[in-house]
Structure 1
């Protein structure tokens, strides 16, 4: 499953920038959903490209759009390739935006979409360092523009769980089995498996200090010598292909649910 950028339904039919202004104007706005991926350029250990997060977002969305119905009124924007990656600064290749810069870029894109008449936006995130910021931005965009804003972090959908060990599911948060497998399946020549490490931080055995609860602030140098958290050595192309298909199916379910959702349905009629 080698990834071919700009090929497939996501790019040939549903890629927003390929449309002319007349085609954009003709899109029925009342049920249109616009997808904005937000990624990162940051270190992913000694074996993986610094483009990993943005690449994975493109790969999973490409798969999802292949599975969407042909008449789905859902449109894909180019990914914002840079994210807030300050926790990886000091590792070669990490390029980060400040929180204020990323927030301003996302808000400007949202305002532009609203000017074109769109009513629904989904922020698809593929980097953990963006999560809290984008959650906050969703509400700010709602207040500022009136857009209905949805959030989707594919990594939290469990699309890789059946192929991961219990330890990897708990602690494989960066450049481990899942990410390495997906990138191997998409761009095998970008992965250097001869350098793939295994490293799990010594996480506290306390429910109050669980890493995924974000109970304490950390940077990557607090967790790891190699720049990863997980086991990259067990990654395979076969697993990456299967994970991509499963994540694609979950993303389709989410996008169709967002598209069908009516914000006005939340209030009970008097």
Structure 2
């Protein structure tokens, strides 16, 4: 049991979850703490993975990274947002999605409220490729249109850890394939149904094949034709997933420390950041 905390004291050491703390603990800590919002999605993940896959992965990565970063800087993690921009999955069912405009409004409301409560350093840690363009809009709106006194970073975890993915042979995380299945085997194996994996005749479905570089291209019907998968996950293992999680967490933790220290609350006067690229498919 946590010992009592009085008004004015800091968040207890080792505590990084926003939703287990009281206002007496959170309010005094807000101005000097980086608040991380993990952004997930609830969507179909082929025949063998649960719809919570994106949310489960980013939740685990956010909390493990924050615990590691909290050894050096004050970090808190907000509850993971389980809904995102996933309209491209709707034709396949098993998906709960927000429109881009609703999602941007939601992010701006959540972050704007946190700023009014005293937070000045915020990270949007994304776990779903469909959210990528929306988090760009939200960051720009918060800083340039609403002109909040805020240092904010937005990044997909696989972009921060691009070197990790490439070292393991992944150009991108893909969707419901080798990468995500490995992560879920390490994180929530009871929800993975390996006996339902589909074996494809080629390494990549049409959805996962490289596109023309430098452009965002959308082709109607491609998701349905690919059965909502980029690859068949035949090589996925829990051991690979555990290694990926550990290495990704280390990279994200270093980013959180570096970003916190780049803000006025962390010791210098440097503007906020955006870290992203056009995702493969998710």
Q: TM-score, normalised by structure 1?
A: 0.83
Secondary structure in 2 aligned to 1:54? helix
Instruction: Give how far 1:119 is off.
Output: 0.5
The equivalent residue for 2:113 is 112
Distance 1:98 1:24 in 2: 31
Tell me whether 1:77 sits opposite 2:78 in the alignment: yes
> Aligned pair 1:161/2:166, yes or no?
yes
SS of 1:135's partner is: helix
Secondary structure, aligned partner of 2:123: strand
Counterparts of residues 77-96 of structure 1 (less than 5 Å)? 77-96=78-97
Aligned 1:128-139 pairs, distance under 5 A: 128-139=129-140
Asked if structure 1 preserves the Cα contact closer than 8 Å seen for 2:84 and 2:131, the reply is yes
CA distance in 1, matches of 2:27, 2:208: 54
Contact 1:87 1:220 in 2 (8 A): no
Q: Provide the rounded CA distance (Å) in 2 between the counterparts of 1:49 and 1:120.
A: 33
Distance 1:248 1:123, change over 3 A: same
Give RMSD over aligned pairs: 2.5
Q: Indicate how the Cα distance of structure 1 residues 51 and 218 shifts in structure 2: closer, same or farther if over 3 A, else same.
A: farther
State how far apart, in whole Å, the 2-side matches of 1:48 and 1:220 are. Answer: 22
Which structure has greater helix proportion? Answer: 1
Q: Is 1:230 matched up with 2:231?
A: yes
Question: After the TM superposition, which of the residue ranges 220-229 and 253-262 deviates more from structure 2?
Answer: 220-229
Distance 1:54 1:206 in 2: 26
The offset of 1:257, in angstroms, is 1.1
Q: Which stretch shifts more, 135-144 or 50-59?
A: 135-144
Contact 1:45 1:175 in 2 (8 A): yes
Deviation at 1:202, TM superposition (A): 4.2
Give me the whole-angstrom Cα distance separating, in 2, the residues matched to 1:131 and 1:226: 22
Alignment deviations for residues 144-184 of structure 1 (CA, whole Å, 9 cap, x no partner): 122111012111222333333xxxx3466111111100101
- 2:141 is matched with 140
Q: Which residue of 2 aligns with 1:8?
A: none
The 3 A distance-change label for structure 1 pair 117 and 44 is same
Question: Match for residue 23 of structure 1?
Answer: 25
1:261 paired residue number: 262
* Unmatched tracts of structure 2, length 5 or more: 1-13, 272-282
SS at match of 1:160: helix
How far apart are the structure 1 equivalents of 2:38 and 2:26?
Answer: 19
Query: Helix, strand or coil for the counterpart of 1:89?
Result: helix
Matched with 2:16 is 14
Q: Any runs of at least 4 consecutive aligned residues in structure 1 with deviations exceeding 2 A, and if so which? A: 65-72, 158-164, 169-172, 201-207, 218-226, 262-266
| Aligned counterpart, 2:205 | 201
Separation (CA, whole Å) in 1 of partners of 2:207 and 2:190: 33
Query: Aligned pair count?
Result: 248
Q: TM-score, normalised by structure 2?
A: 0.80
2:158 and 2:173 in contact (8 A); partners too? no
